[in-house]
Amino acid sequence: MSEPVSPRCSAGRLLAGSVLVALVWCGLLPRLLTLGPVHRHVALMEERGVDPSAMYYTELERLPLRPAWVDDVLILWPSSIRGFCPHGKSAAR
């Protein structure tokens, strides 16, 4: 059985986690805006008069759920496999 964690250790973990979140939020995420693809996307949205920070998914162009070639390669329900039952019950033989 493990020993209980002291309140001082818990406070240290909370502080370390908070600092990590602050670094990501205030450092890493704003830095992403300067990278090529993200910068181009934000510039395009601003050019079209869309505020990227207030953009909803319904404002985006509809994307295909998956490329057409996937339907030729992917077998979603391989019912031809003997004994396979998609609902988790064993198939009758």
- pTM over cut 0.85: no
What's the number of domains the chain is made of? Answer: 1
Tell me, yes or no, whether 14 lies in a domain: yes
> Is residue 77 a part of any domain in this protein?
no
At 15-66, the pLDDT tens digits run 999 999 999 999 998 888 888 888 888 888 888 887 766 656 665 666 667 7
In a domain, 89, yes or no: no
**Closest C-alpha to 42, from 57, 55, 56:** 55
Residue 56 sits in which domain range?
7-64
Write the single-letter amino acid at 91: A
Asked whether the beta carbons of 79 and 85 are under 8 A apart, the reply is no
Q: Is residue 74 part of a domain?
A: no
In the chain, how many H helices and how many E strands?
Answer: 4, 0
Ramachandran sector of residue 6 (left: φ over 0; alpha: ψ -120 to 50; beta: rest) = beta
